[in-house]
Amino acid sequence: MYRFFRPFLFRLDPEAAHQLTLQALRFAGSFPLSEWFLTQFYRAPSKPVHAFGLTFKNPVGLAAGYDKDAAAVRGLSTLGFGHVEVGTVTPRPQSGNPRPRVFRLPEDEAVINRMGFPSKGADFVASRLQRLNVAALKHDNIVLGVNLGRNQDTPNEAAAIDYLQLLQCFAPFVDYLAINISSPNTVGLRSLQGRAALGGLLKQLHVQRKVEETSLGKHIPLLVKLAPDLLEAEIEDALDVILSTRMDGIIVTNTTLAREGLKSKHRGESGGLSGSPLRARSEAVLHQIVKRVDEKIPIVSVGGIMTPEDATRRLELGATLIQLYTGLIYRGPSLVKKILEGQ
């Protein structure tokens, strides 16, 4: 089915095509009949995974960035995913970077984006999640996460305030929270991955997490999302901090600033690169982190997963879960089912 629609979508501006598909999924998730049809069409084998104290019906999730404001969670949950990660959400509404800010690179099976965390803000997204039928998601065994980021005009010295506010806002509604300190499209954000800055941030988040857990009577897993462009020593520093501050998991990797070997006319655009060119680097970082972490906490692998074979390799390398985004743009939503049928 997607092969029929893809040429039409690829004639549209990438951001316009994204909004079109997002709204279609939002519409589909609003009506029981369309929701039932999609669930039947994309039904995949159950492959339960236990991680962070949660049970996932399968290891394949939707990465942050697709549904930034929780517009289509119900529709997305019908496509076979074991988990859906909403966001990135910022405390206050912001428009992100000027358009154009998303570029397809078909020759490279890649995308460059410099979105800059466009977000309707924490209060808006929380109100949507509050209205969402969470019981229905639980019935369908869909794990829901929210990806958190600081506002563009918040200096790194005050970033902890943004993340603490977001933690308090979303803890009641979600199964886990992802701390995004690795997007290349918010100036200075990646500096928070350094040992001192990361340690200060995660220590505060862990303390506040414990307060929220006592209040809500549930565990709130915190995951940290890292960049693929860190040097080996920088990765080691980040892992030391993540483990010592009792984080529950690691998401690797975000998009890359590297541009080696690209063919597309858009290869010179600024922003984060995702898709096939990220595959090798993402796998290399995953290998290093799996070896260093030594099964102390689960790892989520994302970046350059374009085929069932890519997915299988990530799981064989030691990832507990995987996430998709750009692979869906080039292969369509049936990629989830194909991955799970091949496991």
- State the DSSP code for 143: E
Would you list the DSSP string of 7-20? HHHHHS-HHHHHHH
CB atoms within 10 A of CB 189: 23
Asked whether 106 and 10 are in contact (CB, 8 A), the reply is: yes
Q: Determine whether 183 is an active site residue.
A: yes
Query: What is d(CA 161, CA 58) in angstroms, rounded to the nearest whole number?
Result: 34
Query: What is d(CA 79, CA 149) in angstroms, rounded to the nearest whole number?
Result: 26
Query: What is d(CA 201, CA 198) in angstroms, rounded to the nearest whole number?
Result: 5
What are the backbone angles phi and psi of residue 315, rounded to the nearest 5°?
Answer: -65, -40
CB atoms within 10 A of CB 268: 10
Which is catalytic among the residues 77, 119, 183, 301?
Answer: 183
Q: Which residues have a catalytic role annotated?
A: 183
